[in-house]
Structure 1
């Protein structure tokens, strides 16, 4: 490694996932020791094992404070830092209050006094900060982390704050910030309004599991990409983002959902009920993924979307006793120019049930469709085969079909199904696999 160019050695050391590895490298050789002080990125991680050792019976009290002390010592010695990440390991963050019984502040990483010990010294040169706090210590007291960062890090481009309760009192405008992630933390509506006001240059915004919001509004004219998951049921959700091109929104049952995003081209929407969804026409929308307990109603909110080429549909929990409303006819009335279609297990089951109750309208032609991905359960093999055959007979340009069979289906039945469908429909290229709730899809063949 000593024969490598110094710039490459520095790049490698800057990519280490844990500062402990950086310290170990200093012991290997004089060259690595010298290069270790040139790194631009520092990742400081408190592991579960380190935490347990510090809390073990007989541990000296000073040991509990070493994580913060080591970090402050490291950053003061690294003069060229432009990226800092400090975090507790995920497995430690998931431990319950009863398991940790912890009201100290040794891992309270957004503690104002801790931030004041190092931010003023290096904050001006930082381009990226990521802090993943220890929820057991951070959740019950407000942190001034955001105002402090805005005071000392005027050149920051990317900011991630996780597992804490934030205050926005005294937050300064940060026009250079383009990428913001707030994850599993507490905010109020007025706090989110302050974020809109103080981060006008945001292009990427991730809000994951942010609690406390009742009528949240995102109003950012430069925003391009947004990922927003809302675990509670707010009264209303509003997104005003004229430049937004990609949106992933997961929410439960808002009374009102307003999307004013005319440039949107990629939308992934998961919502329990969409009775009060208000959308302006998406003339640029090319890719659409919809997941809802009332998928039929949700699809109706989009009218006839001729721009959509890629469509994925699913119903999280399909009600076998409900009257099927979703059908291929309705799908193609809404999205007549599809080239790619993915049907999750709930959507496929409802469409198959609709077909079995009334057949398939002979006028349906899906000539633009080139590929289909289907998640099947195969309750009645003859019905499933008949539905596939009838649907594909109306897809003159279809070339690829991928079929994933539920893992509970017996191997003998699955093999029989695969053999039968390949014999009956030999013109297509098929791909096979298995799916199961909560697990990654398992593909067993490529397109053949």
Structure 2
């Protein structure tokens, strides 16, 4: 180790995923002890095992408090650019009702704790992340945002998870370009203060934030946004003239207002909305929609002509009486310039049922389709083969077809379907796989 150049050793120490190893390195030799103070990042997370030992009468006296470890670890560190602290996922997933814990040793957004070390390292700090212990933090309102805004003028990335945040005393932070708030308690007026104090945000992730009724995101420089709404607000508004990518997941808002003219990649998941006010995003190329009633929602959107890649699925199981309106013909009426179409299992079922009822007329836009991916729900192989054959015939310029078969389908039936499909149209590139509810798609093979 002594033969390595000091910059190489520091680089190795910076790559440690668990900074408790950094404390161990300090005890190893004088060289590591001296160079450990030159690291520019700290990553420290409390494990479930450590938490349980700190609660056990047999072991708790031998466990150093987690906050003490962090405070001691970063003492005298003067080059820190990144600090990430929190509890590991097994602790974050413990339901509140399953564990009563009134202590504060893992309340990591506690201002008295953060103020003991943050001012000393704030001058060069660029990235800061907290993953709090919800059971200890959810009933304690934290002013940590105000503390951060007073001391971290160079901060560009901020992440806070599992906390109840206050915006009282929050100062503007024009250097901040990326903000993640996940499982946070906020009110509408708090979100308005976030809009005002972080005006240069380019990335904003608002995931599972409760307490909002009519939330609005109003950010001039925003380019990417992921917004998962945990409750059922009255209305949702996104006004971001430079937004390119939006992933929005909500339930039943009364209204959805989007003023995002440069939006090109839009993922939307919702049950329904009574009113849509969408200024047409002329740049939209990719649209991913998941909803309880695909056909009714698709017909409300005005921007179909620009979409080149469309992904569809439903939040509910298909019902025969409701399925006849959603067809490939209807899709190409709304999205006439699609070159890529991906269907989830419920969307595929609806479209196949529609095919059984009214066939497939064909639209001029179908000749633009180059890629087709579908999660098959095979109840009758002859019907599935007939539908796939019709798609291949109407979409005459298809180059790539990827079909996933449900894992419970008999292997002989699946093999027969694969062979017959490939015989129908050997000119396309075929790809086959299996799908299962709640699991990642498993691709099996490619064929020509």
Query: TM over 0.5: same fold?
Result: yes
Per-residue CA deviations over 1:60-111 (Å, capped at 9, x if unaligned) read: 55x5662111101111132110100111111012123354421100110011
2:352 paired residue number: 352
1:410 equivalent to 2:422? Answer no
C-alpha contact (below 8 Å) 1:400/1:447 kept by paired residues: no
For 1:14-413, list aligned pairs within 5 A. Answer: 14-60=14-60, 66-303=65-302, 305-324=304-323, 325-413=325-413
Per-residue CA deviations over 1:25-78 (Å, capped at 9, x if unaligned) read: 3344443333222110000111111111111123455x5662111101111132
What CA distance in whole angstroms lies between the structure 2 residues aligned with 1:27 and 1:233? 53
Shift of 1:321: 3.1
Per-residue CA deviations over 1:384-428 (Å, capped at 9, x if unaligned) read: 111111111111211110001111212121111111111222111
C-alpha contact (below 8 Å) 2:203/2:225 kept by paired residues: yes
Aligned residues: 447
Residues 12, 447 of structure 1: alpha-carbon distance in 2 compared, 3 angstrom cutoff: farther
Look up the SS of the partner of 1:85 in the other structure.
strand
C-alpha contact (below 8 Å) 2:176/2:198 kept by paired residues: yes
C-alpha contact (below 8 Å) 1:256/1:276 kept by paired residues: yes
What CA distance in whole angstroms lies between the structure 1 residues aligned with 2:112 and 2:120? 14
What CA distance in whole angstroms lies between the structure 1 residues aligned with 2:221 and 2:364? 41
Shift of 1:362: 4.3
Shift of 1:12: 2.5
C-alpha contact (below 8 Å) 1:229/1:250 kept by paired residues: yes
Shift of 1:279: 0.7
The TM-score with structure 1 as length reference comes to 0.96
Gaps of at least 5 residues in structure 2 are none
Look up the SS of the partner of 2:257 in the other structure.
strand
Per-residue CA deviations over 1:416-445 (Å, capped at 9, x if unaligned) read: 111111122211110000011111110111
C-alpha contact (below 8 Å) 1:228/1:248 kept by paired residues: yes
Shift of 1:8: 3.2
Per-residue CA deviations over 1:206-254 (Å, capped at 9, x if unaligned) read: 0110000010000000000000001211000000000100000000000
Look up the SS of the partner of 1:432 in the other structure.
strand
Deviates more, 1:198-207 or 1:288-297: 288-297
Per-residue CA deviations over 1:298-333 (Å, capped at 9, x if unaligned) read: 211223522211111111222323332111111111
What CA distance in whole angstroms lies between the structure 1 residues aligned with 2:19 and 2:374? 45
Look up the SS of the partner of 1:25 in the other structure.
helix
What CA distance in whole angstroms lies between the structure 2 residues aligned with 1:286 and 1:250? 19
1:422 paired residue number: 422
The TM-score with structure 2 as length reference comes to 0.96
C-alpha contact (below 8 Å) 1:231/1:251 kept by paired residues: yes
